[in-house]
Amino acid sequence: MAIFKGAGVAIVTPMCEDGKVNYEKLEEILEFQIANSTDAIIICGTTGESSTLTHGEHLQTIKFTIDKVAKRIPVIAGTGSNCTETAIMMSKEAASYGADALLLVTPYYNKATQKGLIAHYTAVANEVPDTPIIMYNVPSRTGCNIQPATAVALAKNVKNIVGIKAASGDLSQIAKMMSMADGCIELYSGNDDQVLPLLSVGGLGVISVLSNVAPKYTHDMVMKYFEGDTAGATEMQLKAIPLINALFCEVNPIPVKEAMNLMGMNVGPLRMPLTAMEPANRELLAKAMKDFGLKLA
């Protein structure tokens, strides 16, 4: 059975003005997501600024989320690292808290070989044998690309490696992987502007930045596709493209945190080295939000 089907939110980590994690606000936005039909919470991923959380903050944020969501929808914990031993430690902790699945980004900076990727993912998976794992392929950020044959080999040979968040942007590579997989990989789009194309080659949904500001819309778009209303789903995908482009006009999660603040959600600042949005891009974002129909505070 799939971990989830539909639109999962790659949720932001709200911060207080002093830079500490704002758990009160996190609970608020978790409830907002659940009330607006989000199909899964993905905590401490790229959008959650996991790279600038301490290990303690990272694990506390995961545990807090699992406890507050309380099995109402799946919680998928980002526990990847460029150090295999660290990824194992984080994954074992998140599994012990009751995470429904783990999201493991490829080791960044090291630029592992395909053989190294197989060794890395296998080592982590073997330490949490009862917890499903979604590989996360985002070569633009990591400098490391899971090739189709590698992804398929892992999914076929390691029982709890079940899926992939595909954020390479390379539709040909993704189609090749799904052709080779013969149904052994649960595919989730990692790019909001490519949800429909990935659904068409067997995808189960999206791990979405857009869902932070438009959760019901993103959920409904995916469900329309699964209900057979391809034209309606396509219309929704295309309508969202200007907003999606604005949400990625600077590096994620700078624009989406700005968008949530513009909506009055008050998710606070970013952690350096990420900095506040450029004024011109902020204006572009605000216009795209208004044009899409989002209410600004």
Q: What are the start-end ranges of the E strands in the chain? A: 6-10, 40-43, 75-78, 101-105, 133-137, 161-166, 186-189, 205-208
Asked if residue 226 lies in contact with residue 207, where contact means CB atoms within 8 angstroms, the answer is no
Among candidates 222, 179, 221, which has minimal Cα distance to 201? Answer: 179
Give the C-alpha separation, 290 to 286, whole Å.
6
Among candidates 187, 124, 118, which has minimal Cα distance to 160? Answer: 124
Among candidates 130, 57, 143, 59, which has minimal Cα distance to 100? Answer: 130
Give 119-158 as a DSSP string.
Answer: HHHHHHHHHSTTS-EEEEE-HHHHS----HHHHHHHHHHS
* Alpha carbon separation from 289 to 83, 86, 214, 295 (Å, rounded): 39, 39, 10, 8
* 136 belongs to the catalytic site: yes
The radius of gyration of the chain from alpha carbons, rounded to an integer in Å, stands at: 18
* 23 belongs to the catalytic site: no
Give the C-alpha separation, 199 to 258, whole Å.
29
- Hunting for tokens 């099995």 — which residue is that? 71
Catalytic site residue from 25, 63, 165, 224: 165
Among candidates 5, 1, 77, which has minimal Cα distance to 39? Answer: 5
Please count the other Cβ atoms lying within 10 Å of the Cβ belonging to residue 42: 29
Catalytic site residue from 25, 63, 136, 257: 136
Question: Mind telling me the catalytic residues?
Answer: 136, 165
